[in-house]
Structure 1
Amino acid sequence: MNRFTSLAAACAVSLIGLPAMAQHEITWWDFLAGGDGVRMRAMIDQFNAEHPDINITPTTSEWGVPFYTRVRTSAAVGQGPDIMTYHLSRIPLALQEGILTPITDADLQAADLAIGDFFETAVDAASDSDGTLYAVPFDIHSIVLYYNRSYFEGSEFLDDDGTLTGINSLEDFERALAHAAEAGSRTPLSYQTGGAGGIWRVFYTLMGQQGGELIVDGEVLPGDNAQKAQRAIEIMANWGAQGWQPEQAEYPASVALFTSGQSAFHLNGVWEVPTLNDLQNDGSLGFEWGAVQVPQLLDQEATWADSHAFALPIQGNQEMDPERRAAVMTVIGWMQRHAIAWADAGHIPAYRPVAESDAYLAMEPNATYASLADTAYFDPRSQIAGVASPVYDAGVNVIGPAMHGFMSPEDAVAQMRAELQALIR
């Protein structure tokens, strides 16, 4: 044996017992921070442990514009990830930019999934106008109505089980707000009144409950939709005039008003459920709370909603290797079947077998508001709508001043319509 064969033999011996490299190294991008990020990392670690042939390497970028800008620029030159999280409200803009690859029936089959496994509202938001799927929905997250039971003890608004009841109209809700104020609530209704997200989600819910549409065939607030938008702003402005909601409360302040016991109600996303659970579990929350689907205050049930989804970006001018693509779909299928871990963050699984499972139906308050998945009201299908978009900017720059009394609701609608219409190409 010469020294070269001896070296080869030594190297072979030294490699015995080392784990084999995964056949597929999957690059993953997301925008998930806080509790969402912790839960997703745990899911990725579990997947990797169970799949020695596939290894996910995750990277988290800043939520909103920074993430989507990075996706757009990297996909164009073929330097993007194999898989990424995506907001379904951003799908129309992504289709205009041409940065997503369609999800085919063969893709779904590789993931052991089918279209019928998902809530129809989420599938519609994940598809183009021809019904082609461009993302696989992972959850439905919406605003819900949190409530502090202590303000409603012995009233018509709390049943024997401590569940909020008796709110079936705007008049009922405003009577409940007045009751809470009389019961000592300093700010009966808290939400983010000083930021784009909170204002937009409440406004859009009130629009949706009137059957309103912000954008139709490229036209902003056509027909009687302008009147419906004005009505939504009038309602929000009245809550302010009555002293029921805070002025210019940024997101953390709006949450603090509720968790400190000053607000009887809180309109916010399901993602705050873990916050309240944690505070209650460590004994620092001084009251019992619950959460329900936003009641039908106007003509029909509707609640602003969005979805986290999984999408596959283009790879510049290249096609993803079929075996690699199958591995990516294996990842997506596994995530869907293990979505009960994601539901722990307050989200409603978009995958019906999990959302309808005994394990999910035992989760509270999640199961109480799960019905909103069927009436979820997604942002307009437009390139100027969705997360971190011009319509969100209109929330803080136009609707905000009107709800705080600095301009009339009628003038706000006219300004919003003119500004948004100018952006539609």
Structure 2
Amino acid sequence: MARRSTMLSRRGLLTGAAAIGGTAALSGGLSACGAASATDPDQIQFWTLLSGGDGGTMADMIAKATGSGAAYDVKTTTLVWGEPYYTKLAMAATGGRPPELAIMHASRVPGYVPGGLLDSWDVSRLEELGVSQDDFPEDVWRKGMVGENVYAVALDAHPTVMMFNPEICDKAGVLDSDGKLRATESPEEFVDLVSQVGGVTKGSPPLSYGYLGDGSQMFRLFYTFYTQHGAAMTFPQGGRAEIDDDIAVASLQLMQRLLDGKLALQRNDYAAALAEFATGRSGMLFTGVWELRSVKEAGVPFDMTTIPTLFGTPATYADSHAFVLPHQSEVDEHRRDLTYQFVADLLKGSYDWATAGHIPAYLPVTESPDYAKLMPQSNYAQAVQQVNYDPAAWFTGSGSNFHAGFGNAVQPALMTGKDAAGAVDAFRTRINGLLKTQNPVDPDGTWTS
């Protein structure tokens, strides 16, 4: 990998950091959340975007890691999810007050490595602590790499999955002898299965899927179907988007077919779809693994599985929460050693993270007998071996405007059930426009990998 010989000016980096992080304004100074206090050499500053149940689970994991005679202390700062978080993380890395460690979606790494916003991980130091490349699914590990260097170490994979109500599905006769959904291997077989469930839900559509105003929801399901064709999208900087039109149209048309008002409501948002399923009005739900806790708390009977392979290739859309090292202009080697130890301890203790619904990326956890007994998590654990992330580009990833742009392009087609080809054309046009725009933290385009 060749890296530019000169870094951007601080002013240029700050401008670019705000651009790749989003348009959110920053309030207050960065120093309030900056590097660890010089008076406590054993303290690690750790930034996360994890809130709600995820935040509570992470707090428990940190308490367990630090409460057993650990050599380090951890000060956690939780910031607002999405653009505000990524803006502030980028600004901290350019402003000289970064934390020792941060959580980042793996899909955002390609936009942050240019310009030196992240430091790379020393794989040999991880190996000394019992964490190696072989301990992760290949695609999950590789997603944290740019060129030959590792910039993100995944904590998990959090894929789009399907929940189902076993009581409703049993009445519909669509469960096998093991109490799992009957296998379907084509769109026609899946539509038939959903229709059978509809014979039980009657007054309410059998499948819940909310997408209105939510580009992420639209892209997650679309890209699951697209990659199940054995295809991928490529967005070469300065070039043109490489998208298979026939596959993209077929994927979008299946979504339209499901959103016919009978199988699933044609116009439904995320919260309403989740409420339908959580109150027992529907028998199936397309959602993310992160909703496991909320559905469990609702008290409705449910199980979970991967989205059926309907186009030949097992594949699902996913992202990963990953550990990154925000760039330190002067590395404190003692704190960095402690940071490596802290990350290794969290990975080894990530069975607890599975209680939040996410699939731990550390294979010794997911391949353990204890995890095999964890229900329904172990029922969709295989999804970690078939993940597909956003196409790599500086403008893609969770919390970016990429998903919103996709939603703007395809939502009219989903609402009307018409012109899937036109929606794909509109999406392509948006991406080609972005590909003509240089990464704001790499305006000279001198980074190669």
- TM-score, length-scaled by structure 2: 0.84
What is the DSSP-based 3-state SS (H/G/I as helix, E as strand, rest coil) of the residue aligned with 2:145? Answer: coil
Number of the residue aligned with 1:264 = 283
Q: Which residue of 1 aligns with 2:169?
A: 152
Residue of structure 2 in register with 1:16 after alignment: none
Mapped to 1, the partners of 2:225 and 2:413 lie a distance apart of 15
CA shift for structure 1 position 418: 0.7
Q: For residues 201-234 of structure 1, give each alpha carbon's deviation from its aligned partner in whole angstroms, at most 9, with x where no partner exists.
A: 00110111112323243455436x1221111111
Partner of 2:178: 161
Deviations 1:82-118 (A, max 9, x none): 1000100111111234311111123313533111111
Q: How do 1:285-324 and structure 2 match up within 5 A?
A: 285=300, 288-315=301-328, 318-324=329-335
Q: Which of 97, 107, 112 is 1:89 aligned to?
A: 107
Number of residue equivalences: 395
Tell me the equivalent position of 1:39: 57
Matched, 1:119 2:137: yes
Q: TM-score, normalised by structure 1?
A: 0.89
SS of residue in 2 equivalent to 1:311: strand
- Equivalent residue number for residue 393 of structure 2: 382
Counterpart residue number, 1:5: none
Match of 2:432 in 1: 421
Equivalent residue number for residue 180 of structure 1:
197
SS in 2 for 1:243: coil
**Hey, what's the Cα distance between the residues in 2 that align with 1:90 and 1:97?**
14
Paired with 1:73 and 1:257, the residues of 2 have a C-alpha distance of 41
| 1:199 and 2:199 are equivalent in the alignment | no
Report the secondary structure of 1:402's partner residue.
Answer: helix
- Give the distance between the partners of 1:407 and 1:368, measured in 2 at CA: 36
How far 1:276 sits from its partner (Å)? 2.4
Q: Which amino acid aligns with 2:112?
A: A
* Residue segments in structure 2 that go unaligned for 5+ positions in a row: 1-38, 439-449
- SS of equivalent to 1:215: coil
Please state if 1:344 is matched with 2:347: no
CA RMSD of aligned residues (A): 1.8
Conservation of the 8 A alpha-carbon contact between 1:28 and 1:59: yes
Q: Do the aligned residues in 2 keep the contact of 1:85 with 1:308 (CA within 8 Å)?
A: yes
Which amino acid is 1:309 matched to? Answer: A
Q: Counterpart amino acid of 1:273?
A: L
Alpha-carbon contact 2:174-2:196 (below 8 Å) kept: no
Task: For residues 159-188 of structure 1, give each alpha carbon's deviation from its aligned partner in whole angstroms, at most 9, with x where no partner exists.
Answer: 233211232221111001111222224122
CA distance in 2 between counterparts of 1:118 and 1:319 reads 30
1:264-294 per-residue CA deviation (whole Å, 9 max, x = no partner) reads 11011111112222233xxxx2xx3211111
SS at match of 1:423: helix
8 Å contact kept, 2:279–2:298: no
Q: Give me the whole-angstrom Cα distance separating, in 1, the residues matched to 2:62 and 2:79.
A: 16
Tell me whether 263-272 or 211-220 shows the greater mean CA deviation: 211-220
SS of the residue corresponding to residue 103 of structure 2 reads: strand
User: Unaligned regions of 5+ residues in structure 1, if any?
Assistant: 1-20
